[in-house]
Amino acid sequence: MAKTLKDIAEKLNLSISTVSCALKDGPKVVSPAVRKRVRKTALEMGYRPNRIARSLATGRTRTVGVVPMYVDEDTLLHPYLQLALNGIFNAANKLKQDVLVYTAQDHNRPETVTDDLLDSRSDGFIFISPRADSLAIKSVAESGLPYAVLFETSGGQSFTVDSRAGVFRALEHLVELGHRRIAHITGDLTLSDGRLRRDAFLEFMEEHRLPVPAVTLIEGNFTRESGYLAGAVFLKLCPMPTAVFCSNDDIALGLMDALTRSGVRCPEDVSIVGFDGVLPPGSSVPPLTTMRQPAQLMAAEALRSVVKNIEAGIEIESRVFQPEFIVRGSTASIPLEGIV
């Protein structure tokens, strides 16, 4: 039979509340000597805390729920999600929190029922790149549970990267290399990151009085496949742009694949810049120049903020993180004959 707090208390002639506080480090102050004696006895007796009973008593499960950007059979293979989860897991481990990743259904679909998020398994939530029309955030917000939004500005307290600053730095790099005909493959325009990066691209080009023919603004959706399909559109442009800014690394790698198959060289014929920096340098040939966002740090800060709200009522405040520009082999100076 499992041992209880009462068993330990009777053996040591202590109150149950004293034994409980000695094992939990509070809320009542217990002397170091008593705490040591209680823990030694609990170990000898094979005591195991009943987490279900504790959660019923405290109203907390010490679990933070994570809702990924999508759910399919390869969700966890995406480097973007892997870095986010690693940051969340590391922070949760230090704070003695469990993490529950919701995988039974895709909560980013607007038609998805969200009742499972409110079944008391999680004290709070982190939403990774949620869609603006997802009902999940609305349901959690209305319930009063703490939550944070990662890599997206819509939906509440957000932990995002400074997309405008990142786009401007990437385009400055291309201009410094002599490029003037620059195309852009957008991300998913239903997500704020897609819109912000597109708008920053247009703003930069206007400020520098560089032309943006409508055909050089190609719509993608943050997937490698969309980058590959955009390659077919890009190859039909005349004159062909000498550089492309892609809204993320996956798009950039898909584009590089399409161009390579068609005999277009990178960076000799076309320079390519990505965004996010979540892929290892060896993921492409040549290695991709990119704007790296601190995904693990952002995710860890989101987790810490949610836990602080749960445990101390500290308000969750949105944060914007600065990206880091990484120059690799996919960008080069434009040949003199290509300068217009």
Q: Do the Cβ atoms of 251 and 222 come closer than 8 Å? A: yes
Q: Which fold has domain 63-161+295-322?
A: Rossmann fold (3.40.50)
Question: Poorest-confidence range of 91-95, 240-244, 335-339?
Answer: 335-339
Distance CA 104, CA 4 (A): 35
Residue 168 to residue 293: CA distance in whole angstroms: 14
Mean pLDDT throughout 33-47?
Answer: 82
User: Pick from 118, 124, 106: which is nearest to 69 by CA?
Assistant: 106
Residue 94 to residue 138: CA distance in whole angstroms = 29
**68: exposed, middle or buried (Cβ count in 10 Å: 0-12, 13-18, 19+):** buried
pTM: 0.78
State the pLDDT at residue 59.
53
Other Cβ atoms within 10 Å of 62 Cβ, number: 18
Regarding predicted confidence, which is higher, 50 or 260?
260
Sheet with strand 319-321: strands edge to edge: 98-101, 63-67, 124-128, 147-150, 158-161, 319-321
More confident residue, 231 or 27: 231
5-49 shares its CATH topology with 63-161+295-322: no
pLDDT at 113: 55
Question: Which pLDDT score is estimated for 340?
Answer: 45
Residue 336: predicted pLDDT? 59
pLDDT value at residue 2? 59
**What per-residue confidence (pLDDT) applies to 152?**
86
Q: What is the mean pLDDT of the chain?
A: 87
Confirm if 221 and 247 have CB atoms less than 8 A apart: no
Q: The domain 163-293+325-338: what is its CATH number?
A: 3.40.50.2300
pLDDT at residue number 339: 45
| Beta-bridge partner residues of 62 | none
**pLDDT, position 5:** 76
Q: DSSP assignment, residue 107? A: T
284-313 pLDDT tens trace: 889 999 999 999 999 999 999 999 999 889
In terms of Cα–Cα distance, which of 250, 253, 237 is closest to 194?
Answer: 250
**pLDDT value at 332 more than 90:** yes
- The partner residues of 101 in beta bridges, in order of sequence, read 66
Q: What is the band of 93 on the pLDDT scale with cuts at 50, 70, 90? A: very high
Q: Is the pLDDT of residue 53 over 70?
A: no
Q: What is the pLDDT of residue 56?
A: 41
Specify the range with the lowest mean pLDDT, choosing from 78-82, 96-100, 263-267: 78-82
Q: How far apart are CA 44 and CA 184, in angstroms?
A: 66
Tell me, what's the pLDDT at 299? 97
Over 50: is that where the pLDDT of 267 sits? yes
Identify whether the C-beta of residue 83 lies closer than 8 Å to the C-beta of residue 278: yes
In terms of Cβ atoms closer than 10 Å to its own Cβ (0-12, 13-18, 19+), residue 104 is: exposed
User: Is 296 within 8 Å of 138 (Cβ atoms)?
Assistant: no
- 61: Cα within 13 Å, side-chain hemisphere: 16
CATH for the 5-49 domain, from 1.10.260.40, 3.30.450.70, 1.25.40.10, 1.10.10.10 = 1.10.260.40
Each residue's pLDDT tens digit, 170-198 = 999 999 999 999 999 999 998 889 999 99
Residue 111 is predicted with a pLDDT of: 58
Domain positions in the chain: 5-49, 63-161+295-322, 163-293+325-338
Which range among 42-56, 77-91, 132-146 shows the weakest confidence by mean pLDDT? 42-56
- Residue-level pLDDT at 278: 85
Please tell me whether residue 13 adopts helix, strand or coil conformation: coil
Q: What percent of the chain has pLDDT over 90?
A: 56
Q: What is the token pair recorded at 270? A: 């076309």
DSSP states along 176-210: HTT---EEEE---TTSHHHHHHHHHHHHHHHHTT-
Average pLDDT over residues 90-117: 80
pLDDT bucket at 11, cuts 50 / 70 / 90? confident
Q: What does DSSP say about strands 319-321 and 158-161: parallel, antiparallel, or unpaired?
A: parallel
